[in-house]
């Protein structure tokens, strides 16, 4: 549990000399088996490196150690009227968020980690410290190593500091929900909103099954009708601007939904709406009490989301499994949660696994990706070649081989061994 | 209605404080300082009153070193109209006692004639929780402490007690209120408001300029950390547990 960059360097160098694998660890909220070790080795926890090194409100940047938790960072930044917009729901650490190219509900407006990480300090598998990226918002100097390390899932080095791009806290925010007769009309409304250039902060779709789970789990909230829904958040620097965004969105949504969404500017109800949305994993699992959910994650070109989601919902139903579907409609990215009980018969487990497999294959066939957000870890290793072809995977292996020839950094992740 | 709000610059609640080498105080060198959380709640309440058009002016007052002006700027960014900074180099976490603070605030109140004074229920460095009550006493006005809800129309306050809450009615204004945790959730000031706050007025004067004679404070003999927690022990069986609870912990 190092407390300084020097300690990280020493530990990595020591492990390199003895051929000991290293698995870097933040908060452990990753979802594709990133932190599971398939062999012997050490877990390198960054939890003690939890300081905010500097905040630069005028630059809209801050530099933090990797063990800083997202929620603690935002609490601190709030005092300066700033926030870090990447919101995966979980209280992940910044280092982990960098390593997985984390994303979330606000990606549609603010982008993913790659967009919001400006620079990193990385300890290489040889125990050397390198600095990548730049504190400037734009940088074209050389190969973008920063973009290589972001999303490298601990397989290329240990992140020991990150410079992040911040946003000012929005002055005027409102959020609303809207029910739709079916999933296609909800997805069609999303496309329309995007085509009108409305800069939604968040636009999420939830199928009927997730709404039922949602209602059951969040009993204190208003009961939503058992139909697909969109949850939307808008923000604007001025009140008039916000009103006109709301008005336009209402017109667009009511065209597809035959009902008019209502918006609220009350901070408490906006907060609880998104807290409830973020608890959809738990809500889904509550449909089968004491279960753990298999979390799926795919992303396709936005016009394909409607077809993809509908086919998946039908597949889930045909397979006779529980599988609420919901997601970041504005990115073409959605998740199907498939709750599993420890004593489920093998047949059920196989059905669930098959639903996921078909979902991923469908997404790849549509020109999408086997993972929009959660990364490869171990869970998606089998799909890289199908998605990219042998050529690109070969290049990835060459990079890994060049940077970590002894394969001590989080072995057994992302790339299938030869 | 004019509202006066007290704000104090304290060690940030998230900081792990360390005892100074001379064991006479907490080490404040390079430590992050912020507005006392209960003062934030007090400011929020005052600003909400202004937004509801129940208050016409919100004045923030702080007693402390030069850097207390930053705390006042935060209050201004949250929506206070102007600030009053009573400067002192005395340590506000232990040298300036509650009665002295109350005397200073009473003098400020004399000059500003507020209808309502809202303070935090206590500061997180001293934790005395006395200032509000002492201030009301000096001013000879009603006090409604540990407020969870204030209704200015009905002149009632729902206040926290050890067993729940109780509703008290106050005879009228002016009065002193101290804010408890559930009164509201304070806002984060937005960047544009933080910028605007730089232009709002802060009047600074020293305790001597104010003409207040301070009361003698407490003398701090020693500051020390509590003894470290002892590790837990594993018991062999239920009999062992019962034995320890009875004979060692003396709880049964």
Q: What is the CATH number of the domain that holds A109?
A: 3.30.465.10
Is residue A396, in this structure, part of any structural domain at all?
Answer: no
pLDDT tens for each residue of A113-172: 999 999 999 999 999 999 999 999 999 999 999 999 999 999 999 999 999 999 999 999
Which positions in chain A touch B34 (Cβ < 8 Å)? 79
Is residue A77 scored above 70 in pLDDT? yes
Cα torsion angle, A31, A35, A37, A38, sign: positive
Is residue B75 scored above 80 in pLDDT? yes
Question: How confident is the prediction for chain B on average, in pLDDT?
Answer: 94
In sequence order, what DSSP letters do the residues of A228-274 get, joined into one string? -EEEEEEEESSHHHHHHHHHHHHHHHHHHHSS--EEE--HHHHHHHH
Measured between alpha carbons, how far is B104 from A143 in angstroms, rounded to an integer? Answer: 62
pTM of the model: 0.86
Proportion of chain B above pLDDT 70, given as a percent: 100
Residues A269 and A307 in one domain: no
Q: Does the distance separating the beta carbons of A169 and B188 come in below 8 Å?
A: yes
Measured between alpha carbons, how far is B180 from B173 in angstroms, rounded to an integer? Answer: 20
Cα–Cα distances (Å) from A159 to A97, A146, B244, in that order, read: 11, 11, 47
Measured between alpha carbons, how far is B184 from B23 in angstroms, rounded to an integer? Answer: 37
* Contact yes or no for A106/A175 (Cβ under 8 A): no
CA A247 to chain centre: 30
The H or E element that residue A27 is part of is: none
| Cβ count within 10 A of residue A346 | 7
Angle (CA) A117 A123 A126, round 5°: 145
Is residue A416, in this structure, part of any structural domain at all?
Answer: no
In degrees and rounded to multiples of 5, residue A170 shows phi and psi of -70, 140
Q: Does the distance separating the beta carbons of B187 and A81 come in below 8 Å?
A: no
Q: What is the pLDDT confidence band of residue B98, given thresholds at 50, 70 and 90?
A: very high
Domain final residue pick, A238, A263, A281:
A281
Residues A320 and A259 in one domain: no
Is residue A406, in this structure, part of any structural domain at all?
Answer: no
Which positions in chain A touch B77 (Cβ < 8 Å)? 81
Is residue B240, in this structure, part of any structural domain at all?
Answer: yes
Q: Does the distance separating the beta carbons of A81 and B193 come in below 8 Å?
A: yes
Q: Which of A22-36, B115-129, B218-232 has the highest mean pLDDT?
A: B115-129
Domain final residue pick, A168, A188, A216:
A168
* Contact yes or no for A26/A44 (Cβ under 8 A): no
Measured between alpha carbons, how far is A404 from B59 in angstroms, rounded to an integer? Answer: 61
What is the number of structural domains in chain A? 3
Q: How far is A201 from chain B (nearest CA, A)?
A: 17
Domain final residue pick, A139, A168, A197:
A168
Residues A29 and A116 in one domain: yes
Q: Say yes or no: A171 contacts chain B, CB-CB below 8 A.
A: yes
Is residue A99, in this structure, part of any structural domain at all?
Answer: yes
Which positions in chain A touch B188 (Cβ < 8 Å)? 78-79, 81, 169
Q: Say yes or no: A48 contacts chain B, CB-CB below 8 A.
A: no
Q: Does the distance separating the beta carbons of B190 and A168 come in below 8 Å?
A: yes
CATH number at residue B34: 3.40.50.620
What value does the mean pLDDT take over residues A196-220?
91
A-B C-beta contacts closer than 8 Å: 35
> What does the block give as tokens for B230?
């002892």
pLDDT tens for each residue of B104-114: 999 999 999 99
What is the number of structural domains in chain B? 1
Residues A147 and A190 in one domain: no
* Contact yes or no for B132/B8 (Cβ under 8 A): no
Residues A210 and A345 in one domain: no
Q: Say yes or no: B10 contacts chain A, CB-CB below 8 A.
A: no
Q: What is the pLDDT confidence band of residue A222, given thresholds at 50, 70 and 90?
A: low
Residues A163 and A29 in one domain: yes
Is residue A374, in this structure, part of any structural domain at all?
Answer: no
Q: Does the distance separating the beta carbons of B77 and A169 come in below 8 Å?
A: no
Of the candidates B52, B51, B69, the one whose C-alpha atom is nearest the C-alpha of residue B60 is B69
Q: Does the distance separating the beta carbons of A268 and B190 come in below 8 Å?
A: no
> What does the block give as tokens for B177?
């209120």
pLDDT score at A306: 94
Is residue B252, in this structure, part of any structural domain at all?
Answer: no
Range of the domain at B218: 2-247
pLDDT score at A37: 81
Residues A152 and A34 in one domain: yes
Of the candidates A111, A13, A2, the one whose C-alpha atom is nearest the C-alpha of residue A66 is A2
ipTM of the predicted structure?
Answer: 0.72
The H or E element that residue B52 is part of is: none
Q: What is the pLDDT confidence band of residue A352, given thresholds at 50, 70 and 90?
A: very high
Residues A15 and A155 in one domain: yes
Is residue A220 scored above 80 in pLDDT? no
pLDDT score at A418: 58
CATH number at residue A271: 3.30.70.2190
Range of the domain at A355: 289-365
Residues A202 and A66 in one domain: no
> What does the block give as tokens for A17?
């000399």
Which positions in chain B touch A170 (Cβ < 8 Å)? 190
Measured between alpha carbons, how far is A139 from A118 in angstroms, rounded to an integer? Answer: 9
């Amino acid at each position: 549990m190092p407390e300084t960059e020097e300690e990280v360097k020493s530990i990595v160098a020591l492990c390199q000399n003895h051929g000991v694998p290293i698995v870097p660890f933040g908060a452990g909220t990753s979802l594709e088996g990133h932190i599971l070790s398939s062999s012997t080795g050490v877990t390198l926890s960054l939890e003690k490196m939890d300081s905010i090194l500097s905040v630069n409100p005028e630059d809209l940047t801050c530099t933090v150690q990797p063990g800083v938790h997202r929620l603690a960072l935002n609490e601190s930044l709030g005092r300066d009227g700033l926030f870090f917009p990447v919101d995966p729901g979980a209280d992940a650490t910044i280092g982990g968020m960098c390593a997985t190219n984390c994303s979330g509900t606000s990606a549609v407006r603010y982008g993913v980690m790659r967009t919001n990480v400006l620079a990193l300090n990385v300890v290489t598998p040889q125990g050397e410290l390198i600095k990548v990226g730049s504190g400037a918002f734009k940088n074209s100097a050389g190969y973008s190593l920063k973009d290589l390390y972001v999303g490298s899932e601990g397989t290329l080095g240990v992140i020991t500091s990150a410079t992040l791009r911040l946003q000012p806290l929005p002055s005027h925010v409102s959020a609303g929900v809207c029910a739709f007769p079916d999933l296609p009309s909800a997805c069609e409304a999303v496309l329309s909103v995007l085509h009108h250039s409305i800069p939604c902060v968040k636009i999420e779709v939830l199928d009927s099954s997730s709404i039922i789970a949602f209602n059951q789990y969040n009993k204190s909230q208003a009961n939503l009708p058992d139909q697909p829904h969109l949850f939307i958040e808008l923000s604007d620097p001025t009140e008039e601007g916000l009103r006109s965004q709301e008005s336009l969105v209402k017109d667009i949504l009511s065209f597809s939904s035959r009902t008019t969404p209502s918006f609220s500017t009350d901070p408490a109800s906006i907060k609880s709406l998104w807290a409830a949305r973020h608890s959809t994993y738990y809500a889904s699992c509550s449909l089968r009490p004491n279960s753990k959910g298999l979390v799926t994650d795919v992303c396709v070109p936005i016009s394909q989301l409607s077809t993809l989601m509908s086919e998946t919902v039908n597949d889930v139903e045909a397979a006779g499994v529980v599988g609420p579907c919901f997601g970041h409609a504005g990115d073409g990215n959605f998740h199907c949660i498939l709750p599993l009980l420890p004593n489920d018969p093998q047949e059920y487990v196989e059905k669930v696994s098959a639903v996921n497999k078909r979902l991923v294959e469908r997404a790849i066939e549509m020109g999408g990706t086997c993972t929009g957000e959660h990364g490869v870890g171990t869970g998606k290793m089998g799909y890289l070649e199908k998605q990219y072809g042998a050529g690109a995977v070969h290049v990835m292996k060459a990079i890994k081989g060049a940077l970590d020839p002894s394969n001590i950094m989080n072995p057994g992740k992302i790339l299938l061994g030869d | 209605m004019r509202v006066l709000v007290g704000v104090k610059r304290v060690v940030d609640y998230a900081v792990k404080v360390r005892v100074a080498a001379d064991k006479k105080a907490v080490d404040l060198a390079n430590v992050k300082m912020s507005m006392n959380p209960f003062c934030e709640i007090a400011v929020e309440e005052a600003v909400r009153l202004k937004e509801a058009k129940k208050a016409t002016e919100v004045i923030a007052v702080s007693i402390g070193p030069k850097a207390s002006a930053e705390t006042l700027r935060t209050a201004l960014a949250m929506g206070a109209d102007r600030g009053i900074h009573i400067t002192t180099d005395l340590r506000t976490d232990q040298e300036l006692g509650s009665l002295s603070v109350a005397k200073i605030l009473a003098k400020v109140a004399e000059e500003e004639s507020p209808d309502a004074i809202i303070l935090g229920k206590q500061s997180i460095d001293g934790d005395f929780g006395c200032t509000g009550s002492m201030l009301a006493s000096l001013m000879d006005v009603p006090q409604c402490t540990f407020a969870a809800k204030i209704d200015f129309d009905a002149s009632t306050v729902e206040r926290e007690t050890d067993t729940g809450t109780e509703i008290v009615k106050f005879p009228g204004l002016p009065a002193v209120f101290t804010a408890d945790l559930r009164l509201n959730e304070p806002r984060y000031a937005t960047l544009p408001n933080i910028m605007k706050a730089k232009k709002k007025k802060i009047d600074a004067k020293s305790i001597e300029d104010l003409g207040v004679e301070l009361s003698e404070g407490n003398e701090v003999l020693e500051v020390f950390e509590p003894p470290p927690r002892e590790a837990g022990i594993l018991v062999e069986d239920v009999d062992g547990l019962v034995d320890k609870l009875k004979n060692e912990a003396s709880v049964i």
